[in-house]
Amino acid sequence: MKVSKEDVLHVAKLSQLDIAPEEVEMFREQLTQILDWQDKLNELDLTDMNPTAHVLEMNNVMREDETRPSLSVKEALKNAPDKEGSYFKVPRIME
């Protein structure tokens, strides 16, 4: 499929891109090439192919949720620059 200079300028306008006049021809050629590749893919017979999101089968690798010991309040607040009771004290950001 041949892409015109007007097509390139229209896509650039829709994308809110400023394209220099000397770039229009380069983008026209690149877009034409991309659409030609798409046409080649459309020629393939994919009737026996199932749609896939990944070429390799994906399995979630998640560990089981299990309760484990965590930091004590004293350990968690050990390096805090400022604390109040068992909480981190931070500067007020809202009135």
- pLDDT, tens digit, for every residue of 10-54? 999 999 999 999 999 999 999 999 999 999 999 999 888 888 877
Give the model's pLDDT for residue 16: 95
Query: For the chain, which residues make up each domain, given as ranges?
Result: 5-42
Give the model's pLDDT for residue 52: 81
Euclidean distance between CA atoms 81 and 90, whole angstroms = 9
Amino acid at 13: K
Q: Which residues have CB under 8 Å from 54's CB, separation 6+?
A: none
Q: What global pTM score does this model have? A: 0.50
Place of tokens 């068992």: 86
Euclidean distance between CA atoms 95 and 93, whole angstroms = 7
Rounded (to 5) percent helix, strand, coil in the chain: 40, 5, 55
Give the model's pLDDT for residue 57: 80
Does the pLDDT at position 76 exceed 90?
yes
Provide the CATH number for the domain formed by 5-42 in this structure. 1.10.20
